[in-house]
Amino acid sequence: MTEDELEAALERAARWLRGCERACVLSGAGVSAESGVPTFRASDGLWEGHRIEDVASPDGWDRNPALVWNFYNARRANVATVKPNPGHHALVAMEQRWVDRFTLVTQNVDGLHLEAGSKNVLEIHGSLRQTRCLTCGAVTNRGLEPLGDAPECPQCNGRLRPHIVWFGEGLDDDIWMAAMEAADRCDALLVVGTSAVVHPAASLVPIARRKGATVIEVNLTRTEASAYADVGLYGPSGVMLPKLVERLA
């Protein structure tokens, strides 16, 4: 985008946001990547040298839970070294404008939105910081402390697994229903740092569009979401979102 095109796009986006009653955000890996969180999937389809089926599926867990825990402990250790970036903080500022009429739906599992200060966050794919007991079902926030390759439930000593939605698993019904409701009721949807190809999360974009919401895309380049977007802000979210927030004042 040229400087003039960007300025015009920012002004259009800000004008729509200033007039909306309810706002919703769908965020993805691009936001976290700007903080230094790897997207993990390489061009050869491997995650840190592992097949997805081995470290992010129920079958992989059944075959080798220690390998799965080692993989997720490495991810947890990485997240412990990074901090929220200006894009995360800009979304906190947006929430303060709408308060309880703002919902942030994220596909990210690193918890950086919450760490930045966002309140109404729906982590539809789970959280690296949480464990789930396979015996009593308790979900516990363990932060980013080292857990080893066979952690036990602090309540019943049952076996723990990462509280992550793996490939082949369904989303939590309550969280997903809340996400769909937020997309259905919003006047503006911001699509930030996501290619909008992973379902069912990607379906939130057409849901919002069909209900007449303005769709604002914030991505490095055009994506599958671009066909639904009323305006596109193409560049790092850590740059674009603060610029947008400045125009909302």
Active-site residue set:
125
Pairwise CA distance, residues 84 & 112, whole Å = 6
Cα dihedral sign, 59-79-115-83? negative
- C-alpha distances (whole Å) from 148 to each of 67, 134, 180 are 11, 17, 36
Apex CA 204: angle with CA 43 and CA 249, to 5°? 100
Q: Are 95 and 245 in contact (CB under 8 A)?
A: no
Residues in CB range of 111: below 8 A, 6 or more apart:
79, 123, 127, 128, 129
As a whole number of angstroms, the distance between CA 56 and CA 166 comes to 5
Instruction: State both tokens at 148.
Output: 């080893």
